[in-house]
A = this chain, B = another copy of it.
Amino acid sequence: MVIIVKQHTSPDELRQVIQPLEWLGLEVSVTQGIGHTVLGLLGDVSCVDVERFLSLPQVETVMEVPEPYKKANRKFHPQDTAVQVGGAHIGGGGFSVIAGPCSVESPGQVTEIARQVQQAGASFLRGGAFKPRTSPYAFQGMGEQALEWLEEAKAVTGLPIVSELTNPKYCDCFEEKVDVIQIGARNMQNFDLLREVGKMSKPVLLKRGLSNTYEEWILSAEYILAQGNEQVILCERGIRTMESYTRNTLDISAVPAIRKMSHLPVVVDPSHACGKSWMVEPLALAAAAVGADGLMVEVHNDPAHAKCDGQQSLTPMQFREMMEKVNHVVEAIGKRGTVGRITRLEPRKEGNGCLKKCL
């Protein structure tokens, strides 16, 4: 339930509305809107006497919110949320690209990839340090060491770091070293972990679960918001269906659906969705056209020898080509200057050749 309080209501008058709600055992979240103040009531609202509140002079209206999510609900917060990280941002009208290797493998690797994706227009660097793997015998990531290598890459490029957290015990470490905390698909309903990142000061990128509905996904975001961390980015990465040609089935409709249901930004991960490097570009273009706030793309200097997910990684060159096309589509749907500027390559000095030498 939401109570809309009129413009020019004094703090004292506002308190007269809030206090009886708190007596009823409700938590009241106050949001200053344009021309009015929105009070979100969390808890059992069946006890609220709607007529009584409607009769207060400072109350404009009382709205039922049939959806079980409140803080993430667009009805309750009509403006787009933009998540700011240093100079970069996701949401609020732009189009931002997160790129980097599935897994951080060595310090040289990640810094070189960071430089290349930055030149191609990415504004965030992704890199896995702790990898949740289906098999206990598969490569599980380089751990804390990898976070240090990501910090070196950030020192060189300035790109903020996105990395996945899988265990509450690393919260302090991620709070210090990582700019955006990623929660993976397999942990989307690890509610204890969600509560922990809800207490952190860093934005959270929340991937959709393998087989979760939009509502369940937003409710998982609500776990984070309810703890006070309001900087949540949703990431569509494909769902499980009977089709096995692609690794997962990209649910492109999730983007307009989430934008209707919630004010939180939503990005698309075409790499995990399809699992095939040659299909990443067309899916990235579709994501740009459908109105996503950005992309998360796997880029690897040597996909054939990547420690994981090589078959779905782009080379830096393929990524650059994709970014040029993505830019055209972003402009075609009327967004401007949103992708990070693409630096012009000087043919003899850069490219894959250099990369191989550097590493």
Which A residues contact B (CB, under 8 angstroms)? 42-43, 68-70, 132-137, 166-169, 186-187, 189-193, 209-216, 219, 222-223, 226, 239-246, 249-253, 255-257, 260, 273-274, 278-279, 282-283, 285-291, 325, 328-329, 331-333
Q: Which B residues are in CB contact (< 8 Å) with A331?
A: 332
Given the interface pairs A136-B226, A192-B166, the reply to whether A246 lies near B253 with Cβ below 8 Å is yes
Say whether B222 contacts A136, CB under 8 Å: yes
Say whether A241 contacts B244, CB under 8 Å: no
13 A-B pairs besides A42-B137, A133-B191, A211-B211 with CB distance below 8 A are A69-B135, A134-B189, A213-B245, A215-B245, A240-B242, A241-B251, A242-B242, A257-B279, A283-B290, A285-B289, A285-B291, A289-B290, A329-B329
- Give me 19 A-to-B residue pairs in the complex whose CB atoms sit less than 8 angstroms apart, sorted by A's number: A68-B137, A70-B137, A132-B192, A133-B191, A134-B189, A136-B219, A166-B191, A167-B168, A167-B192, A168-B168, A186-B190, A190-B190, A213-B242, A214-B243, A253-B274, A283-B290, A286-B290, A288-B289, A331-B332
Minimum Cβ distance to chain B for residue A82 (Å):
20
Copies in the complex: 4
Given the interface pairs A222-B136, A239-B249, the reply to whether A210 lies near B210 with Cβ below 8 Å is yes
Minimum Cβ distance to chain B for residue A271 (Å):
12
Q: State in angstroms the CA–CA spacing of A286 and B270 once bound together.
A: 13
Say whether A279 contacts B250, CB under 8 Å: no
Q: State in angstroms the CA–CA spacing of A189 and B185 once bound together.
A: 10
The listed residue (B253, B274, B332) touching A283 by CB distance below 8 A is: B253
Q: State in angstroms the CA–CA spacing of A168 and B190 once bound together.
A: 12
Given the interface pairs A191-B132, A289-B289, the reply to whether A273 lies near B253 with Cβ below 8 Å is yes
Residue of B nearest to A186 (CB): B189
Q: State in angstroms the CA–CA spacing of A213 and B244 once bound together.
A: 8
Q: Which B residues are in CB contact (< 8 Å) with A249?
A: 239, 241, 249, 251, 253
Q: State in angstroms the CA–CA spacing of A136 and B42 once bound together.
A: 10
Q: State in angstroms the CA–CA spacing of A200 and B126 once bound together.
A: 34
Minimum Cβ distance to chain B for residue A26 (Å):
11
Q: Which of A190, A226, A244, A274 has the most CB of B within 10 A?
A: A190
Q: State in angstroms the CA–CA spacing of A227 and B258 once bound together.
A: 40
Q: State in angstroms the CA–CA spacing of A256 and B281 once bound together.
A: 10
Say whether A137 contacts B43, CB under 8 Å: yes
Q: State in angstroms the CA–CA spacing of A291 and B219 once bound together.
A: 34
Q: State in angstroms the CA–CA spacing of A332 and B286 once bound together.
A: 12
Residue of B nearest to A212 (CB): B210
Minimum Cβ distance to chain B for residue A261 (Å):
8
Q: Which B residues are in CB contact (< 8 Å) with A226?
A: 136-137
The listed residue (B135, B242, B283) touching A222 by CB distance below 8 A is: B135
Q: State in angstroms the CA–CA spacing of A168 and B189 once bound together.
A: 15
Q: Which B residues are in CB contact (< 8 Å) with A291?
A: 282, 285
Q: State in angstroms the CA–CA spacing of A330 and B21 once bound together.
A: 53
